[in-house]
Amino acid sequence: MNELEQFREETREWIETSCPESLRSSTGQRSGTTMGGRRFPVFAEPAEDSHLWLSRAVERGYCAPTWPREYGGAGLERAQAAVLREEMLRLGAPPPVVSMGLLMFGPTLLEFGTEEQKQQHLPPIARGEISWCQGYSEPGAGSDLASLQTRCEDRGDHYSITGQKIWTSGADVADWMFCLVRSDPGAPKHEGISLILIDMNQPGVRVSPIKLISGSSPFCQTFFEEVRAEKNALVGPLHGGWTVAKRLLQYERQGISSSGFMGPTRGTDAPPELAKRYCGTSDGKVADPIIRDRLARMEMDQHCFNSTVRRTADEARAGNDVGTASSIFKYKASEDAKKRGELMVAILGTQGLGWEGDGYEPFEIDQTRTWLRSKGNSIEGGTSEVQLNIIAKRVLGLPD
Amino acid sequence: MPLVHSEEQTLLREIARDFISEKSPTGELRRLRDEPDPIGFSKSLWKEMAELGWAGIPFAEEFGGADLGHTELGVVLQECGRTLTASPLLSTIALGGTAIDLGASEALRKEVLTGVCSGQRILAVAHQEQTRHAPYATETRATKTPSGYTIAGSKTFVLDGHVADQLLVVARTSGSSRDRNGLSLFLVDAETPGITRTRTLQVDGRNAARIEFRDVEVDGQRLLGEIDRGAEILDPVLDRATAGLCAEMLGGIEAAFEHTLNYLKVREQFGTVIGSFQALKHRAAELHVEIELSRSIVIEVQQAIDSGDEAVPELVSTAKARLSETAFLMGNEGVQMLGGIGMTDEEDIGLYLKRFRVQQFTFGDASFHRDRYANLRGY
Ligand SMILES: Cc1cc2nc3c(=O)[nH]c(=O)nc-3n(C[C@H](O)[C@H](O)[C@H](O)COP(=O)(O)OP(=O)(O)OC[C@H]3O[C@@H](n4cnc5c(N)ncnc54)[C@H](O)[C@@H]3O)c2cc1C
Look at residue A190 and tell me if it is in a domain.
yes
Tell me the nearest-neighbour CA distance from A394 into chain B, angstroms: 10
Q: For chain B, first and last CA: distance in Å?
A: 29
Same domain, A160 and A237: yes
Is B321–A396 a contact, with Cβ atoms under 8 angstroms apart?
Answer: no
ipTM for the complex?
A: 0.95
Instruction: Label residue A263 by pLDDT band (50, 70, 90).
Output: very low
CA torsion through residues B17, B18, B20, B21, sign: positive
CB contact under 8 A, B282 and A275: no
Do residues B294 and B210 share a domain? no
A183: distance to nearest CA of chain B, Å? 32
Whether B155 is in a domain gets the answer yes
The DSSP bridge partners found for residue B144 are B149
Report d(CA B115, CA B334) in Å as an integer.
40
Which of the residues in chain B have pLDDT under 70? none
Residue that terminates a domain, selected from B177, B206, B228: B228
Predicted TM-score of the model (pTM): 0.93
- Inside any domain, residue B1: no
Q: What is the pLDDT of residue B285?
A: 98
Residues A280 and A375 in one domain: yes
Any domain includes B60: yes
Q: Distance between CA B208 and CA B159 in Å, rounded?
A: 4
Q: Nearest-CA residue of chain B relative to A322?
A: B292
Beta strand A151-154 with A205-210 is unpaired
Residues A271 and A391 in one domain: yes
SS3 labels along B177-213: CCCCCCEEEEEEECCCCCEEEEEEECCCCCEEEEEEE
First to last CA, chain A: 53
If asked whether residues B29 and B110 sit together in one domain, one would say: yes
Residue A1: predicted pLDDT: 65
Q: Please tell me the number of Cα atoms within 13 Å of B84 on its side-chain side.
A: 27
Q: What is the DSSP letter of A382?
A: S
pLDDT at A268 over 90: no
Instruction: Say which amino acid occupies A307.
Output: S
Among chain A residues, CA nearest to B369: A296
The domain boundary residue, chosen from B121, B144, B174: B121
Distance CA A189, CA A149 (A): 10
A318 and B292: CB-CB below 8 Å?
no
Nearest to B322 among A300, A332, A385 (CB): A300
Contact of A106 with A33, CB cutoff 8 Å = no
Using the Cα atoms of residue B166, residue B179, residue B140 and residue B137 in order, give the sign of their dihedral: negative
Q: Which amino acid is at B60?
A: A
Distance CA B249, CA B243 (A): 10
A159 found inside a domain: yes
pLDDT grade for A259, boundaries at 50, 70 and 90: low
On the CB side of A164, CA atoms within 13 Å amount to 10
Could you give the residue numbers annotated as active site of A? Answer: 252
Note if the bond before A399 is cis, omega within 30 degrees: no
* Within a domain: A309: yes
From chain B, pick out residues whose CB is under 8 angstroms from the CB of A307. 3, 293, 296-297, 300
B160 Rama sector, left if φ>0, alpha if ψ -120 to 50, beta otherwise: left
B103 and B155 in a single domain? The answer is no
pLDDT of residue A27: 73
The answer to whether residues A92 and A9 belong to one domain is: yes
Domain identity same for A361 and A267: yes
Give the model's pLDDT for residue B37.
Answer: 84
Secondary structure element (H or E) that encloses residue B12, with its range: helix B7-23
How many structural domains compose chain B?
3
In a domain, A255, yes or no: no
Same domain, B107 and B145: no
Shared domain for A272 and A387, answered yes or no, is: yes
DSSP helix, strand, coil percent of chain B (3-state; round to 5): 55, 15, 30
Q: Do residue A390 and residue A309 come from a single domain? A: yes
Measure the CA angle with vertex B43, ends B38 and B49; round to 5°: 150
Q: Is the pLDDT of residue A199 over 60?
A: yes
**Average pLDDT over chain A, rounded to an integer:** 92
Residues of B in contact with A318 (CB under 8 A): 2, 4
Nearest CA in chain A to B317: A300
How far apart CA A129 and CA A35 sit, in angstroms, is: 9
Give B-chain residues touching A391 at CB under 8 angstroms.
Answer: 285, 288-289
In chain B the beta strands, taken as DSSP E runs, fall at 123-126, 141-144, 148-159, 166-172, 183-189, 195-201, 207-219, 223-224, 268-269, 272-273
B159 and B71 co-located in one domain: no
CATH of the domain at B347: 1.20.140.10
Distance between CA atoms of residues B17 and B47, nearest Å: 17
What is the pLDDT confidence band of residue A264, given thresholds at 50, 70 and 90? very low
Q: Kindly determine whether residue B379 and residue A285, on different chains, have CB atoms separated by under 8 Å.
A: yes
Residue A39: how many other CB atoms lie within 10 Å: 12
The pLDDT value recorded for residue A323 is 65
- Using the predicted structure, report yes or no on whether residue A80 has a pLDDT greater than 80: yes
Q: Is A389 in the pocket of ligand 1 (CB under 6 A)?
A: yes
**Is residue A254 a part of any domain in this protein?**
no
Q: Are B94 and B73 in contact (CB under 8 A)?
A: yes
Q: Are A386 and A269 contained in the same domain?
A: yes
Domain boundary among A96, A115, A147: A96
pLDDT, tens digit, 9 for 90 and up, residues A311-355: 998 888 877 766 678 899 999 999 999 999 999 999 999 999 999
Which DSSP symbol is given to B92?
I
| Least confident span in A51-60, A64-73, A256-265, B321-330 | A256-265
Residue nearest to atom 11 of ligand 1 (CA): A136
Report the pLDDT value the prediction gives residue B162, as an integer from 0 to 100: 95
Count of A-B CB contacts under 8 Å:
121
Residue A183, domain CATH: 2.40.110.10
Residues A317 and A349 in one domain: yes
Report the CATH number at residue A90: 1.10.540
In terms of phi and psi (left: phi > 0; alpha: psi -120 to 50; beta: otherwise), the region of B339 is left
For residue B199, list its beta bridge partners: B209
Q: What is the mean predicted confidence (pLDDT) over A196-200?
A: 98
Q: What DSSP element (H or E) covers B41?
A: none
Q: Tell me which chain B residues have a C-beta less than 8 angstroms from the C-beta of A300.
A: 317-318, 321-322, 370, 373
Torsion of CA B353, B272, A322, A326, to 10 degrees: -100
Percent of chain A with pLDDT over 90: 80
Cα(A382) to ligand 1 centroid in Å equals 6
DSSP B260-327: HHHHHHH-EETTEEGGG-HHHHHHHHHHHHHHHHHHHHHHHHHHHHHTT-TTHHHHHHHHHHHHHHHH
Residue B237: its H or E element: helix B231-266
Residue A34 CA, ligand 1 centroid: distance in Å? 26
Other beta carbons within 10 angstroms of residue B142's beta carbon come to 28
Q: For Cα atoms B149, B153, B157, give the angle at the middle one, nearest 5 degrees.
A: 120
- Ligand 1 atom closest to A169 (CA): 8
Q: A180 C-alpha to center of ligand 1: Å?
A: 15
Residue B192 shares a structural domain with residue B284: no
Contact A116, A44 (CB under 8 A): no
The pLDDT score that the predictor gives to residue A2 is: 85
Helices marked H in A153-240 — which ranges?
none
Q: Is residue A121 part of a domain?
A: no
- By C-alpha distance, which of B210, B119, B134, B221 is closest to B165? B119
Structural domain of A179: 132-241
Range of the domain at B182: 125-228
Co-location of B203 and B333 in the same domain: no
B106/B221 same-domain check? no
Contact A134 CB / ligand 1 (< 6 Å): yes
The answer to whether residues A207 and A307 belong to one domain is no
C-alpha distances out from residue A372 to A49, A175, A378, B100, Å: 30, 28, 12, 54
pLDDT digits (tens, 9 = 90+) for A109-119: 999 999 999 99
Closest CA to A342 of A383, A301, A295, A387: A295
CATH code: domain of residue B178: 2.40.110.10
Atom of ligand 1 nearest to the CA of A382: 21
Pick the last residue of a domain from A179, A206, A241: A241
B chain contacts of residue A284, beta-carbon cutoff 8 Å: 378
Q: 10 Å Cβ neighbour count for B332?
A: 12
Q: How many domains does chain A have?
A: 3
Q: Are residues A142 and A176 part of one domain?
A: yes
Do the Cβ atoms of B294 and B326 come closer than 8 Å? yes
* Per-residue model confidence (pLDDT) at position A261: 44
Please give the Cα distance from A395 to A323 (Å, whole number). 9
CATH (domain of A312): 1.20.140.10
| Angstrom distance (rounded) from CA B156 to CA B150 | 19
Q: Give the whole-angstrom CA distance, residue A85 versus residue A83.
A: 5
**Predicted local confidence at residue A256, as pLDDT:** 73
Which residue is closest in CA terms to ligand 1's atom 7? A168
Same domain, B274 and B353: yes
The residues in B 256-315 lying below 8 A from A, measured between CB atoms, are: 261, 264-265, 272-273, 275-276, 278, 280-282, 284-286, 288-289, 292-297, 299-300
pLDDT digits (tens, 9 = 90+) for B225-239: 999 999 999 999 999
Q: Give the end of a domain, one of B121, B137, B167.
A: B121
Whether B264 and B218 have beta carbons less than 8 Å apart is answered as: no
pLDDT, tens digit, 9 for 90 and up, residues A346-393: 999 999 999 999 999 988 998 999 999 999 999 999 999 999 999 999
**Ligand 1 atom closest to residue B282's alpha carbon, by position in its atom list:** 43
DSSP character for A127? T
| CB-nearest partner of A388 from B2, B261, B285 | B285
Report the pLDDT value the prediction gives residue A265, as an integer from 0 to 100. 46
Q: What residues have CB less than 8 Å from A122, skipping those under 6 apart?
A: A64, A67, A71, A72, A73, A106, A109, A110
Give the nearest ligand 1 atom to A133 CA: 8
CATH number of the CATH domain containing B12 = 1.10.540.10
